[in-house]
Amino acid sequence: MNTVGAALLSDVQKEVLDEVLVGVPYNSASQFHEYFGTKAAPPRFGLSCAWQSFTAGRMVMERSGITAEYLIDGRHVAAVYRTPDGLVILDPYLLHGEPLRLDRGAAVDGSVRTTVDAYPFRVKADGTPAPSRVRATWNLADDSIRLDYLRYSPSRGHNTASRSFLLRPESRLGTVPPAADFVRRLLVHPEQHSVSVRVLHPVTRGMAELILPLAGRPAGLAEDSRLMLTKDNQGAVATHGDARFQRDLEVVADAVAASTDDVVAFLLEAAAIHRAAAPAGLDLAPYSLEDE
């Protein structure tokens, strides 16, 4: 790739990442509708984490002609671009505001590291901004990439590790998306203990999330909206009936250009699909109701 081509690709990657962050929300319910239901979810409702990366890679390819490789860790996938000089990673689920660029020439003790700001941008008790962070570490010896998501916790007063993934070169997906049977197995994995839609509002850039826990649902109330909860940009939890719940729900609905009833119904249907598809005796962890 020549210099002009490299510069163009860099611009495209940055542009696409931002578009996916605000235009393709993380929605863990969407693939239930697609793989166990009757039809794919409306695109504006968002996609699961792997499909966010697939979408980013597709958009970059359409605009630049450059294809990504997709590396998987468990149920998580990132889009990776290799050049002779280094790597670029797009992983919209981790909410990093800039592409993760790792320059081979910047290696120290055999590893290349970079850290960038990520959403949500929260506020400390003294009113100062507190962005989340994504840290990428590329080990040149085994070509592995570690991604750490460090989200600011208002209750603790500092950034805390929230997610961590290890991407190895041998974990490259050969088929995108993977085969349907493989996807269905992952959808009913015990780690899937809720269905949710998490948005980054396109105007305010504030986060909000609507969540329906899947564990411990009483018989007869399996898909009842009263079991839902929300989180706001500060990570504060609100339960159904709280005024804050309605406020957060309206942020989510506005971000996906849908009514609040439609967003609620979307998660309720996905929960019903999960209940029908999950293996007998599936043990799910309860969802934490603590503020972050």
**pLDDT, tens digit (0-9, with 9 covering 90-100), for 91-115:** 999 999 999 999 999 999 999 999 9
Looking at residues 276-292, what average pLDDT do you find?
91
pLDDT of residue 281: 87
How sure is the predictor about 4, in pLDDT bands with cuts at 50, 70 and 90?
very low
d(CA 251, CA 208): 7
pLDDT of residue 2: 45
Average pLDDT across the chain, whole number = 94
> Residues 290, 272, 77, 131: what is their CA dihedral angle, to the nearest 10 degrees?
-30
d(CA 232, CA 59): 29
CA-nearest of 74, 111, 112 to 93 is: 74
CA-nearest of 113, 105, 81 to 6 is: 81
pLDDT of residue 41: 86
pLDDT of residue 215: 87
d(CA 241, CA 102): 46
pTM of the model: 0.94
**pLDDT, tens digit (0-9, with 9 covering 90-100), for 183-224:** 999 999 999 999 999 999 999 999 999 999 998 765 545 558
pLDDT surpasses 90 at 60:
yes
pLDDT surpasses 80 at 174:
yes
Using DSSP, state whether 131 is helix, strand or coil: strand
In the chain, the largest separation of any two C-alpha atoms, in whole Å, equals: 62
**pLDDT, tens digit (0-9, with 9 covering 90-100), for 22-56:** 999 999 999 999 999 888 888 889 999 999 999 99
pLDDT of residue 6: 77
pLDDT of residue 1: 46
d(CA 46, CA 245): 20
Q: Residue 280 gets which letter from DSSP?
A: T
Using DSSP, state whether 232 is helix, strand or coil: coil
List of residues 6+ apart from 202 with CB closer than 8 A: 22, 23, 255
pLDDT surpasses 60 at 234:
yes
Minimum mean pLDDT range among 70-79, 130-139, 220-229: 220-229
pLDDT of residue 218: 58
Residues above pLDDT 90, as percent of the chain: 88
DSSP string over 61-100: HHHHSPPPEEEEETTEEEEEEEETTEEEEE-GGGTBSS-E
pLDDT of residue 42: 84
Token pair, residue 72, equals 């998987």
Neighbours of 215 (CB within 10 A): 13
Which helix (H) or strand (E) segment holds residue 254: the answer is helix 243-255
Q: What is the 3-state secondary structure (H, E, C) of 197-225?
A: EEEECCCCCCEEEEEEECCCCCCCCCCCH
How sure is the predictor about 7, in pLDDT bands with cuts at 50, 70 and 90?
confident
Which residues, listed in sequence order, are joined to residue 219 by a DSSP beta bridge? none
pLDDT surpasses 50 at 3:
no
